[in-house]
Amino acid sequence: MSNYIGIDISKSTLNIHITKNSLDLQINNTIADIKKLYSKLKKIYKKEIKDIVFIFEPTGSYSEVLRKFCFEKEIKCFIINPKQFANYAKALGEDIKDDKIDARVLASAITLAKPNQIKVPSFNKDVERIKELMSFYKFTCKQTSQLKNHLESLEAKDGDSFAIKELKKSIKASKDKEKLILEQVLKLIDSNDEYKKAYKNITSITGVGKIAGIALLHLFIKYPEANQRQITSLAGLNPVYKKSGTSLQTLPKISKKGSVFYRGSLFMGVMTAIRFDERFKAFYERLKANGKHTTQAQIAVMRKIIIIAHSLYKNEQEYVKDFNAAKKA
């Protein structure tokens, strides 16, 4: 177990435990310091450097620098699920939250890894660009919404004319920015024949518009090996329920553990699909007739849209409206 490196990641620092010499380090969470760390590891492990395994939790943007470095240097990693790690640390009796201790526990958590979980992490530059641009788009949309709310508040009470005028200018500028960001994403998609075709196939589904198409394309290219069950789980649409004896039983509900970006982008599209596509309309009405709540039926349609979109993406096909197929759906 001497080739396992536990790394606890925070916003500004990385706490590292090197098992070979039981060395604890703390470095800045920057590419420059990570490169220095790798040079140090090469001196410690020499010819065995190719056998080292980094073990860390995915912490959103904070772990991206390390993940990208591991991809470029072909360093094998075990990226452990945070909940799994928390349960493991608790089982070991590590109740004190300490970055140095976490790094040590992470190094020992290799025992939880399945063989297929120890691998060089993937990194797709286009996926990251789409993610960053859409994150910027959501932030801009939120700003636009806040400006609109403030404008409505001022207009309702016949507020200051200068403030109202400037708010209208800001709203227009914010909406123009939203449009510009989407144009950048679509330009990126158009520059890649594979993405362009996949985007066209995905958006051929009734109700899947520009935003939903981008979101689903991002989901599919980010997780190319995921099956349909995993895809719905990544979107947080997998059903979960509690059942223990006769005292603890709950109705199924969606987990919401996946990205809200994927679910949120499809919400309005579900309404369109139910109204204008006989396949989805028949599916929705059958669920309603069987006693499903409106929201449950809508979520089921959303799940079905994602599954169909994933199938079209995998098989490189466009969606075909077919009411006969709806009867069998």
Mean pLDDT of 106-135: 90
How does the average pLDDT of the chain come out, rounded? 88
Q: pLDDT class for 258, splitting at 50, 70, 90?
A: low
Per-residue pLDDT of 147-177, as tens digits, reads 999 999 999 999 999 999 999 999 999 999 9
**Structural Rg of the chain based on CA atoms:** 24
Write out the H or E segment, with its range, that includes residue 67: helix 64-73
Residue 326: the pLDDT is 45
Report residue 72's pLDDT band, with 50, 70 and 90 as the boundaries.
very high
In the predicted model, is pLDDT for residue 207 greater than 50? Answer: yes
**How many alpha carbons fall within 13 Å on the CB side of residue 305?**
37
Q: What would the pLDDT profile of 262-305 be if each residue is shown by its tens digit? A: 778 888 899 999 999 999 999 999 999 999 999 889 999 999 99
Nearest to 109 by CA among 206, 19, 177: 19
